[in-house]
């Protein structure tokens, strides 16, 4: 999305300034805190990028207990709740190759819910991330779990919902005729054979008839799947339904 290594930093500075945030930019890795993303990229993917001069940019959204404590110090001293975002999981093995090109934006969350919601919306839009990529604890803070419970479903719950819809929409198959399980007289057997032959002919005729096309998936269902687990899930669901 960004054509130069520092374009994301520049865009982030503009967003924070225009949004009226109080923030400071510091060189170095992020502080410990609550992860905004459920799963960031593993550290090994960043080493080559760091060697090529691409910066690692982190955001530490800070809710301080004492507003007089500097943002960075409040996180390091454990005197604040710090919500940390980064595309790459920071790890000690990145110190040598990446520390010199790493920067952390410390953002003051005076109005926690509103400020955090705007920040998450910015990250989701600029990094093209579905809500399922975010930590459910964070989504709960900004009220999304109450407003749209399906957004906060676990991956397992989403998979189960999709599988249930797939089975519900699958075309029903004809069941084979059941064999008799009780003793019958020759006359009864002859009658049953005739009835079975007639039913089988009818079934064969039904099979020869062209089947009606499968019901189309409800657009509302597709939109729910797209919001919960992204476009890839929608593609897979449509492939299963063909």
pLDDT for res 211: 45
> Residue range 101-120: average pLDDT?
91
Q: Which of 175, 182, 133, 176 is nearest to 158 (CA)?
A: 133
> Residue range 220-238: average pLDDT?
70
Check whether residue 14 and residue 119 sit in a common domain: yes
pLDDT for res 180: 55
> Residue range 69-98: average pLDDT?
93
Under DSSP, is residue 212 helix (H, G, I), strand (E, B) or coil?
coil
Q: What is the mean pLDDT of the chain?
A: 79
Check whether residue 107 and residue 165 sit in a common domain: no
pLDDT for res 192: 54
pLDDT tens digits, residue range 23-59?
999 999 999 999 999 889 999 888 888 888 888 999 9
What tokens does 176 get? Answer: 């084979």
> Residue range 53-73: average pLDDT?
91
Q: Residue 242: pLDDT above 90?
A: no
The three state secondary structure string of 83-111 is EEEECECCCHHHHHHHHHHEEEEEEECCC
Q: How far apart are CA 93 and CA 191, in angstroms?
A: 82
Number of alpha carbons in the 13 Å side-chain half-sphere of residue 226: 10
- Phi/psi at 50 (5° precision): -65, -40
3 DSSP 8-state letter: S
Q: Residue 74: pLDDT above 90?
A: yes
Check whether residue 144 and residue 232 sit in a common domain: no
Under DSSP, is residue 2 helix (H, G, I), strand (E, B) or coil?
coil
Check whether residue 88 and residue 165 sit in a common domain: no
Q: Which of 107, 106, 118, 110 is nearest to 142 (CA)?
A: 118
Query: pTM for this structure?
Result: 0.65
pLDDT for res 234: 73
What tokens does 227 get? Answer: 């919001």
Check whether residue 25 and residue 81 sit in a common domain: yes
Under DSSP, is residue 24 helix (H, G, I), strand (E, B) or coil?
strand
Rounded to the nearest 5 percent, the helix, strand and coil shares of the chain are 55, 15, 35
pLDDT for res 107: 95
Q: Residue 82: pLDDT above 90?
A: yes
What domain range is 219 assigned to?
Answer: 156-170+214-241
pLDDT for res 164: 78
Check whether residue 144 and residue 161 sit in a common domain: no
Q: How far apart are CA 165 and CA 225, in angstroms?
A: 11
Residue with more model confidence, 51 or 213: 51
pLDDT for res 3: 44
Check whether residue 94 and residue 126 sit in a common domain: yes
pLDDT tens digits, residue range 118-156?
999 999 998 888 888 899 889 998 888 887 777 777 667
Residue 87 lies in a domain: yes
Q: Residue 198: pLDDT above 60?
A: no
Q: How far apart are CA 108 and CA 75, in angstroms?
A: 11
pLDDT for res 191: 54
pLDDT bucket at 219, cuts 50 / 70 / 90: low
Check whether residue 27 and residue 87 sit in a common domain: yes
What tokens does 148 get? Answer: 């749209």
Check whether residue 80 and residue 31 sit in a common domain: yes
Range of weakest confidence among 52-66, 91-105, 167-181: 167-181
């Amino acid at each position: 999305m960004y054509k130069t290594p520092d374009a994301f930093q520049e865009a982030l500075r503009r967003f924070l300034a225009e949004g009226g945030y109080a923030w400071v930019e510091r060189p170095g890795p992020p502080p410990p805190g609550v992860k905004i993303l459920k799963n960031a990229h593993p550290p090994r993917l960043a080493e080559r990028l760091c060697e090529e001069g691409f910066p690692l940019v982190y955001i530490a959204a800070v809710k301080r207990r004492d507003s007089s404590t500097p943002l960075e110090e409040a996180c390091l001293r454990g005197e604040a709740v710090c919500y940390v975002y980064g595309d790459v999981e920071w790890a000690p093995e990145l110190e040598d190759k990446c520390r010199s090109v790493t920067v952390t934006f410390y953002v003051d969350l005076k109005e926690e819910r509103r400020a955090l919601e705007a920040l998450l919306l910015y990250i989701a839009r600029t990094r093209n991330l579905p809500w399922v990529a975010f930590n459910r604890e964070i989504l709960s803070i900004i009220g999304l779990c109450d407003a749209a419970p399906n957004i906060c479903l676990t991956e397992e719950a989403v998979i189960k919902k999709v599988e249930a819809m797939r089975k519900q929409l699958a075309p029903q198959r004809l069941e084979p005729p059941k064999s008799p399980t009780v003793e019958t007289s020759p006359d009864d057997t002859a009658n049953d054979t005739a009835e079975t032959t007639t039913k089988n002919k009818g079934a064969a005729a039904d099979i020869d008839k062209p089947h009606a096309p499968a019901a189309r998936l409800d657009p509302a269902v597709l939109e729910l799947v797209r919001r919960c687990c992204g476009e890839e899930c929608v593609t897979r669901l449509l492939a299963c339904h063909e």
